[in-house]
A and B are shown apart, each in its own frame.
Chain A
Amino acid sequence: MLAAINWMWNFDGWIVLAGALCAVASSLLGCFLVLRRMSLLGDAISHAVLPGLAAAFLITESRSSLPMFIGAVVVGILTALLTEWIRGTGHVDEGASMGVVFTSLFALGLIMIVQAADHVDLDPGCVLYGSIETTPLDTIPVLGWFIPRAVVTLGVVCLINAAFVLFFFKELRISSFDPALATTSGFNARLIHYLLMILVAVTAVASFESVGNILVVAMFIVPPAAAYLLTDRLAVMIGLSVVLAVCAAVFGHLGAIVVPGWFGFRSTTTAGMMAVAAGLIFLLAMTFAPRHGVMMKVIRRRVLAWTILADDILAFLYRREEQGTGLRVTADELKPALFASGISLQAILWRLSQLRLVSRERALLGLTDKGRERARELVRSHRLWEQYLVSHAGLEADRIHDKAERLEHFTDIGLREQLQEATDSTNVDPHGAPIPPEHP
C-alpha cells in the first residue's frame, strides 16, 4: 500500500517523524494550557515573536538561526509575561490581554521589518516560518548519521518537555487545578506557571522555525482537547494526547499525499493536513467519547427519559387501580396524561409487557402482580417524599408534587425507610392519599 502512494522512508519517514516530534512536544504542554484556559497562547506567541526576529536580524545583520532563535524565544516569553501582567494588574480578561499583547508586538515587528526590507529580502513568510516538506533536505551529522536538523531540534525540545512534565507532574497538577492550594502547600505556583510559559515559548519557536506555525498552534490545542473529553485523569489525558498527536501526524501526512489524488490533484501541504487530521480526531472524540461524548450524552438522556416514562406508566396504572378496581386503561388515555409521543409510548408498553410488568388484553392495559409491586414502590416513594417535603422542608402542600415526581425515580428501599422514619411512619400523604406499605 505504501508503495502505491510512492512512499519513501528516508523522505516521508523524516517528515512524519518531525511532525510527530513537534506534535508530541506541543501536546505535552498543551494539556496544561487547555486546563488553564490559555489555549490560544500558542497562536499568540507565533504572531508575537516577529519583533524578536527582527531585532535579532537588525542587531546581528545576518540571518543565522541561533540569534533569531534567541530573539524569538525572548519575545515569546515576553508575550506570556506581558499577558499575565496586564491580566493581573489591569483586571483585563485573559483573552483580551493576550489579544492586546500579540497584535501590538506583531505590529511593532512588522514596522521593524519594513524598515529593513527595502534593502534585503526579509519576507516574514519565508524567513520566519519553516516548512515541514523541506525538513529532510536540511541535514546535520549526528554520530555519523545524517539526520534532519528539524528532527534533532524537535527531539531535544520534546525530551526537555517530557522531563519537565515528568519531574514537575505533581506541582503542575496542583497548580493547574488549584493555584491557591499549591501556594499553601509550599511551592510557588507562579514559578511553575512561568516555567511552563517559557517552555511553551521555546517549543513554539523551535517548531515553527523548523516545521511551520500552523502545526504547532494546532497541536498545542487539538489533541489535548480531544484527550480531555476522553478521560477524567490527568496522567491518562497526557498519555492519550501524545498518542493522538502522533496519530494526527501520521494520518495528516498520509492524507496530504492521498486525499488530493482522489480529486485529480497532486499532494498538498502536510502541516495543514496534520491540523485537519487532528481536527477530525477531535470530532471523533467529541462524538463518541465514552463519558463526555455528544453521542453518549444523547443516548444516556434518551434511556433516562424512557426509564422515567416506564415508571410513570406503572404509577399511573396503580393510581387508577386505587381509585376503583377493575377500571381498565387504554394507551390513548396515557398519551395526554404523561405527555408522551405515540411511538415511544408504544415502544415502552411493548417493553413493559415483555418484562411482564403490564398485561395487555387487546387495547386494555393492566398491572401484573410484578408490575403492581414495582408501581407500589414508586407511589410509596412519591408520597413519602411529599410528606417529607411538607413536614421537614416546610413547603406548601400544593407545590410538592413536581419535586416528588422527580425524586421518586431515584429513591431506593434504604432511602424510603429513612423517609418513613423521618416522617414518623405516617400512613397518609399531605393530599390525604394513603401511603402504600412496603410489603402488603
Chain B
Amino acid sequence: MIAGRSIACAAILFVVSIAPASLTAQQPPVNRSTSDSLTDRSIEWPSLEQWTRVLFLKDYNTRMVVFGTTLLGCAAGMVGSFALLRRRALMGDALSHATLPGIAAAFLFATTWGLDGKSLWFLLTGATASGMLGVGSILAIRNLTRLKEDAAMGIVLSVFFGAGVALLSITQQLSGGNAAGLEGFIFGKTASMGFHDAMLIGTAAVISIGVCLLLFKELTLVCFDEGFAGSRGMPVGFLDFCLMALIIVVTIVGLQAVGLILMIALLVIPPSAARFWTESTWKLFVLSGIVGAVCGYIGAAASALFYKLPSGAMIVLVCATFFMISLVFGTRRGVLLRTVRRWMVNRNVDRQHLLRAVFEMVEKKGAGHQDNYDWHESRGVLDENDLVGRPVAVSELLNRRSWSRWRLLRAIHGADRAGLVDYDLDSVRLHRRGLIEAIRLTRQHRLWELYLIQYAEVATSKVDRDADAIEHILEPEIVAELELLLEKRSVEMPASPHRIVVSETVAAAGHPNGGTDAGSH
C-alpha cells in the first residue's frame, strides 16, 4: 500500500517535473543558428500587446476559437457530470471511436453516388448514425449479457474503430473522391475553427444544456437509482438513451472541431474535478460547466499566445491542472481535507482511549472488585479526590493497549495541554475535568458492552473490542436509550462486565488481593 503510494507520488513528481522542463525551457535565443537544431524547444514570451489582443478577443480567428472552445467546454462539462454519475465517464471515448466507420461509410456512399463526399452534413450524419449504433450496442451488451459497462464500451470502441480503419483503407482506393484528411475529421484541428464551426458548436451546446436543464430531475434520478426511477413510472430506457444522445451530440460536434482526445478530456475531467468540491448534483452540474468553460477559455487563449502550443493539448493540460488542484484542495473530497480530518479523528480517539485507560486503572486500584457502585453514594469506597490524585505510570498505560510509546506520549501531551491530565515524572494523574470526561466515556463503553451481552448475545470476552470502536461516536440520545434499556440510572457507573487488564506488579501494589486477574482478554 505504502510502497504503491510512494511509487505513484514519485510518478506524479516525474510527470510534473517533465512538464515545466519542456514547456518553460525558454532561454532567449542567444545564437540564432542553434535554433535549427533538434533541441530548440524555446517558447517566445508574448508581448503586452499580444496579451491584450488575445485576452480581449480582438482577433476574429482567436475570438471564434475561444468562443467555440468555451461553449464546448461548458456543454461537455455539464453533460459529462451526468455521465460521471452514471459511471460511464469513458462513454465519450467509446463513442468518439465508434463514429469512424460512419464517417468512412458516409464518404463511401456519397462518392459512389457521385456527391461531394466531404460535405460536412454527410459526415455528421454518418458519424451520428454509427455513434447511435455504438450506443445501442453498448446498452444491448450491458442489458442482455452479464458483461459490465466497461467491457461493453471496450468492445464497441475497438470493434467499431477497427471497422472504421478497414473502411477508411477502402475509401482510399476510390477513384472519384479524395479521401485524404478524413481521419482529420475525428482528430480535429482547433486552430482552424471558423465561424460555421463555432456556430455549430454554439447551437449544439445551447440545445444540450437546455435538454439537461429540462430533464434535470429525471436524469439525476436515473443516475442515482435506476430501479426507483422505473418504479416512479419514468421511462428509464428512454432517459438513458436521451443522456447517451446528448453525449453523442456534444462529442460529434466537438470531435471535428477539437479532436478525439480533447473531447474525451472535456467530458471526463471537469466533472471529476468538480466532484471534489460538492456533494450536490445541481452544484456539480453548474460547477463542472464552469470548470469546462474556464479550461476551454484559458487553454485556447494560451495556445493563441504561444503559437507553438497546440490548443487541444493546452486545454487538456489546463483541465488536468484543475483536476490536480481539486484532488488536493477540494472542500468535500479533497485529499488534504480528508487527511486533516482523519488526523483529527485519530487524535481525538487516542485522547479518549487515554482517559478511559487512566480511569480504569485508578478505579481498579481504588475499588477492587465491587460489582456495582454508585458514583455519588459510594464516596467512602471511591473517593473522588483519591481518583483525581492517583498517579498511573506511563509503562502501565503502555501495556494497556497496543499503542506505541510515541503515540501514547503524543496523546498524553495533548491531554496535558488541554488541562485534562497532569503529566510529570513519567506518570499521569487525572484532573477533575479529565475525570468527568473519563467517567462519561467509561460509562458509554460499559453500557454498550452490557447492551451487546444482553441484547446481541455477544460473548463477554468479545465485547470490549466492539465497544472500543463505538464509544467515540455514541450520541447522548443513544446513551439515554441504553440507560433505559439496561435500567441503569444516569449517575450509576456499571462495573466492567469483563476483567480489566492491569499489569501484575501494578495491581499487586495497588490492591494486594486483586493481583491475579491480569491478562483476560
Chain A residues close to B by CB (< 8 Å)? 34, 37-40, 42-43, 47, 51, 55, 58, 61, 78, 81-82, 84-86, 88-100, 103-108, 110-112, 114-116, 118-120, 190, 194, 214-215, 217-218, 220-222, 225, 228-229, 256, 260, 265-266, 268-269, 271-276, 278-279, 282, 286, 292, 294, 297
Q: Report B102 CB to chain A, min CB distance, Å.
A: 15
- Using Cβ atoms and an 8 Å threshold, which residues of chain B touch A86? 327
Known: A106-B261, A111-B23, A215-B162. 19 other contacts (CB 8 A): A40-B93, A78-B15, A85-B4, A96-B90, A99-B268, A99-B272, A100-B272, A100-B320, A103-B316, A107-B314, A108-B18, A110-B310, A190-B1, A217-B154, A222-B155, A271-B162, A271-B165, A274-B162, A279-B159
The one of A37, A89, A93, A266 in contact with B89, judged by C-beta atoms closer than 8 angstroms, is: A93
Nearest B residue to A79 by beta-carbon distance?
Answer: B11
State in angstroms the CA–CA spacing of A89 and B161 once bound together: 33
Check if B145 is an interface residue, CB within 8 A of chain A: yes
Query: Do B36 and A119 touch (CB < 8 A)?
Result: yes
> What is the chain A residue whose CB lies nearest that of B85?
A93
For A37, what are the chain B residues with a Cβ–Cβ distance below 8 Å? 148, 150-151
User: Is there an interface contact between B173 and A266, defined as CB atoms closer than 8 Å?
Assistant: yes
Q: Which of B38-46, B234-242, B409-417 contacts A (4 or more CB under 8 A)?
A: B38-46
Contact with A along B310-350 (1 / 0, CB 8 A): 10111111011001000100000101000000000000000
Query: Which residues from chain B contact A108 at a C-beta distance below 8 Å?
Result: 15, 18-19, 313, 317
Q: Are A260 and B170 in contact (CB under 8 A)?
A: yes
What residues on A are CB-neighbors of B308 within 8 Å? 114-115, 118
B313 touches A107 (CB 8 A): yes
- The residue that B90 contacts in the complex, of A34, A40, A82, A112, with Cβ under 8 A, is A40
A99 and B269 contact, Cβ closer than 8 Å, known pairs A43-B93, A90-B333: yes
Q: Contact: A43 with B154, CB < 8 Å?
A: yes
Q: Scoring B residues 151 to 181 as 1 if CB is less than 8 Å from chain A, else 0, what string do you get?
A: 1011101110111111111100100000000
Which of the listed residues B159, B264, B317, B319 has the most CB atoms from chain A within 10 Å of its own CB?
Answer: B159
Alpha-carbon separation in the docked complex, A58 to B267 (Å): 31
Is B88 in the interface zone, CB < 8 Å from A? yes
Cβ 8 A contact of A279, one of B84, B151, B163, B265 = B163
Minimum Cβ distance to chain A for residue B461 (Å): 22
By the criterion CB–CB under 8 Å, are B166 and A269 in contact? yes
In the A-B complex, the 3 residue pairs with the smallest Cβ-Cβ separation, listed nearest first, are A275-B162, A279-B159, A99-B268
Residues of B within 8 A of A78 (CB): 11, 14-15
Beyond A225-B151, A265-B170, A276-B166, whether A97 also contacts B159 by CB under 8 A is no
The answer to whether A214 and B161 have CB atoms under 8 Å apart is yes
Known: A225-B155, A266-B173. A104 touches B316 (CB 8 A): yes
With CB as the reference atom, state the residue of chain A lying closest to B327: A90
Q: B272 is contacted by which of A97, A112, A272 (Cβ under 8 Å)?
A: A97
Tell me, yes or no, whether B369 is within 8 Å of chain A by CB. Answer: no
A95 touches B162 (CB 8 A): no
CB within 8 Å for A91 and B333 given contacts A107-B320, A229-B145: yes
Q: What is the CA–CA distance of A116 and B36 in the complex, to the nearest angstrom?
A: 10
Q: Which residues of B contact A42 (CB under 8 A)?
A: 154
Assess the A107–B316 pair: CB atoms within 8 A. Answer: yes
B158 with A282: CB separation less than 8 A:
no
Complexed CA–CA distance, A68 and B12 (Å): 20
Q: Is the CB of B272 within 8 A of A92?
A: yes
Judged by a CB distance under 8 angstroms, whether B275 is at the interface is yes
- Contact present for B90 and A221 (CB under 8 Å): no
B306 to chain A, nearest CB (A): 10
How far is A221 from B264 in the complex, measured between Cα atoms in Å?
20
Whether A221 and B316, one on each chain, are in contact in the complex, defined by CB atoms closer than 8 angstroms, is no
16 contacts between A and B (CB under 8 A): A40-B90, A81-B4, A85-B8, A88-B5, A96-B90, A96-B268, A99-B272, A106-B313, A111-B313, A119-B38, A214-B162, A217-B157, A222-B159, A228-B146, A273-B162, A273-B166
B155 near A268 with CB under 8 A, answer: no
A266 to B5, CA, bound (A): 52
Say yes or no: A39 contacts B153, CB within 8 Å.
Answer: yes
Residues 27-47 of chain B: 1 if any A CB is under 8 Å from the residue's CB, otherwise 0? Answer: 000000000111111000000
B317 and A221 contacting across the interface, CB-CB below 8 Å: no
Instruction: Establish whether residues A272 and B162, one from each chain, have CB atoms under 8 Å apart when the complex forms.
Output: yes
Q: How far is the CA of A82 from the CA of B377 in the complex (A)?
A: 62
Q: Is the CB of A43 within 8 A of B158?
A: yes
Residues of A within 8 A of B405 (CB): none
**Given A256-B166, A272-B169, A275-B163, residue A292 in contact with residue B146 (CB < 8 A):** yes
Question: Quick check: is B454 within 8 A (CB to CB) of the other chain?
Answer: no
User: Which of chain B's residues has its CB closest to A86's CB?
Assistant: B327
Segment 112-152 of B: residues with Cβ below 8 Å from A: 141, 144-151
Q: Are B150 and A294 interface neighbours, CB within 8 A?
A: no
- The residue that B40 contacts in the complex, of A114, A119, A271, with Cβ under 8 A, is A119
Given the known interface contacts A115-B41, A120-B38, A275-B162, the answer about A84 and B141 at a Cβ–Cβ threshold of 8 Å is: no
- A116/B38 contact (C-beta < 8 A), A100-B268, A111-B317 known: yes
Please state if A103 and B269 are interface contacts (CB–CB under 8 Å). yes
The distance in angstroms between the C-alpha atoms of A225 and B162, with both chains bound, is 17
In angstroms, Cα B313 to Cα A115, docked, is 12
Q: In the assembled complex, which residues on chain A have CB atoms less than 8 Å from the CB atom of B8?
A: 81-82, 84-85
Contact A218:B162 (CB < 8 A) given known A99-B90, A110-B310, A265-B173: yes
Contact status A221-B154, CB under 8 Å: yes
Q: What distance in Å separates the Cβ of B62 from its nearest Cβ neighbour in chain A?
A: 19
Give complex CA distance A115, B24 in Å: 11
Contact in complex: A103, B261 (CB < 8 Å): yes
Whether B500 is near chain A, meaning CB under 8 Å from some CB there, is no
CB-nearest residue of chain B to A78: B11
B379 close to A (CB within 8 Å): no
Chain A residues, CB < 8 A from B173: 265-266
Chain B residues, Cβ within 8 Å of A99: 89-90, 92-93, 264-265, 267-269, 272
Bound complex: CA of A282 vs CA of B140, how far in Å? 13
Asked whether B276 is an interface residue with its Cβ less than 8 Å from the other chain, the reply is yes
User: Which residues of chain A are near B261, meaning CB under 8 Å?
Assistant: 47, 103, 106-107, 110
- List A contacts of B168 (CB < 8 A): 269
In the complex the two chains form, what is the Cα distance from A99 to B40 in whole Å?
A: 31
Q: State the Cβ distance, A203 to closest chain B Cβ, in Å.
A: 15
- Chain B contacts of A274 at CB under 8 A? 162
* Residues of the B chain whose Cβ atoms lie less than 8 Å from the Cβ of A92: 272, 275
User: Closest CB of chain A to B292's CB: distance in Å?
Assistant: 13
Residues from chain B with a CB closer than 8 A to the CB of A34 are: 147, 151
Tell which of B19, B40, B93, B173 has the most Cβ of chain A within 10 Å: B93
Q: Residue B7 at the A interface, CB < 8 A? A: yes
A242 smallest CB distance to B (angstroms) = 18
Contact yes or no, A43 B157, CB < 8 A: yes
Closest CB in chain B relative to A54 CB, distance in Å: 8
User: Is B395 in the interface zone, CB < 8 Å from A?
Assistant: no
For window 165-201 of B, CB contacts with A under 8 Å fall at: 165-170, 173
Give min CB distance, A260 to chain B, whole Å. Answer: 6
Query: Is B489 an interface residue when CB atoms closer than 8 A count as contact?
Result: no
B22 CB within 8 Å of chain A: yes
Q: How far is the CA of A97 from the CA of B271 in the complex (A)?
A: 11
Closest-by-CB residue of A relative to B269 is A100
Interface centre among A47, A228, A268, by most chain B C-beta atoms within 10 angstroms, is A268
> Given A103-B269, A105-B15 in contact, is the A229-B146 Cβ separation under 8 Å?
yes
Instruction: Report the bound CA distance from A272 to B19 in whole Å.
Output: 34
Q: Judging by beta carbons under 8 Å apart, are A279 and B162 in contact?
A: yes
Does B309 touch A at the CB level, under 8 Å? yes
A225 to B320, CA, bound (A): 32
Query: With A81-B8, A107-B313, A119-B40 in contact, is A217–B158 under 8 Å at CB?
Result: yes
Interface code B287-303, partner A: CB below 8 Å = 1, 0 otherwise?
A: 00000000000000000
Instruction: Evaluate contact between A269 and B165: CB separation under 8 angstroms.
Output: yes
A81 contacts B150, C-beta separation under 8 Å = no
Contact with A along B193-221 (1 / 0, CB 8 A): 00000000000000000000000000000
Query: Given that A39-B150, A104-B320 are contacting pairs, would A275 and B158 also be in contact in the complex, using a CB cutoff of 8 Å?
Result: yes
Which residues in A have their C-beta under 8 angstroms from that of B39? 58, 61
